Amino acid sequence: MAEVGTLHDAFLDELRDTYDAEKQLTKALPKMVKAAHSPILREAFESHLEETRQQVERLEQVFESLDEKPRGKHCDGMAGIVEEGKSMMEEEFDEMTADACLIAAAQRVEHYEMAAYGTLVAWAKVMGHTEAADLLQETLDEEKAADEKLSSLAEGGINQDAADAANEGAESADEEEDEKIGAGAGAGKRPARRR
Ligand SMILES: [Fe+2]
């Protein structure tokens, strides 16, 4: 009978996947730093980049604690999320909307990582890998904090600024339409306002 993998094998697989995911992020985050318009958002991405580099090192410590060589395995999930973020950055949005979109993309990343680290912590604990569990928990806490920080930036002004810009855009479009009507034949008839 062929040998089947154990939870320990699955754990190592997940670790390698996450190691690769974090490395992908160390390349994607500098692009997000550059793309961010709001200085506080840029700062948040910069500090998460620094944190992510430490998380890569922390995963190396986890491998060491298990007497394993740090090794990555291509993480398709993170590659997909990063790819989606990239195409969002290529869209032409007003600055406020672009920042709101960057936060949306970054939060997808955080939630994906929280799911991965949540599983890793649980599996490390159940197999008695206490040192690994503690290290992984540290990163899980950082990811949660990064996610909360992004929510507070979005809800603390960036989303509202984007919404205000959208309303202003709609109003000036209405005005333009009104002017056209004034110059043309249609006195008296006004189009329904877009909201
Ligand atoms: Fe991370």
Q: Span 146-152, mean pLDDT?
A: 96
Local confidence band at 178 (pLDDT 50, 70, 90 cut-offs): low
User: Number of structural domains, the chain?
Assistant: 1
User: 6 C-alpha vs ligand 1 centroid, how far in Å?
Assistant: 26
Local confidence band at 166 (pLDDT 50, 70, 90 cut-offs): confident
pLDDT > 70 fraction of the chain, expressed in percent and rounded: 88
User: 42 C-alpha vs ligand 1 centroid, how far in Å?
Assistant: 17
Is residue 167's pLDDT more than 50?
yes
User: 60 C-alpha vs ligand 1 centroid, how far in Å?
Assistant: 13
pLDDT digits (tens, 9 = 90+) for 90-133: 889 999 999 999 999 999 999 999 999 999 999 999 999 999 99
User: 45 C-alpha vs ligand 1 centroid, how far in Å?
Assistant: 12
User: 122 C-alpha vs ligand 1 centroid, how far in Å?
Assistant: 17
Is residue 116 included in any domain, yes or no? yes
Give me the count of residues in the chain.
195
Is residue 157's pLDDT more than 80?
yes
133, 135, 137, 138: CA torsion to nearest 10 = 170
Assign residue 151 the CATH number of its domain. Answer: 1.20.1260.10
User: 92 C-alpha vs ligand 1 centroid, how far in Å?
Assistant: 28
Q: Rounded distance, CA 80 to CA 133, Å?
A: 27
Is residue 45 included in any domain, yes or no? yes
93 with 101: CB under 8 angstroms? yes
pTM: 0.84
In the structure encoding, which two tokens stand for residue 60, read together? 């190396």
Is residue 190 included in any domain, yes or no? no
Is residue 156 included in any domain, yes or no? yes
Is residue 1 included in any domain, yes or no? no
What local confidence, expressed as pLDDT, does residue 193 receive?
Answer: 44
* Owning domain of residue 124: 7-182
Is residue 187's pLDDT more than 50?
no
In the structure encoding, which two tokens stand for residue 191, read together? 């189009």
pLDDT digits (tens, 9 = 90+) for 13-43: 999 999 999 999 999 999 999 999 999 999 9
Is residue 164 included in any domain, yes or no? yes
Is residue 91 included in any domain, yes or no? yes
Is residue 187 included in any domain, yes or no? no
Mean pLDDT of the chain: 90
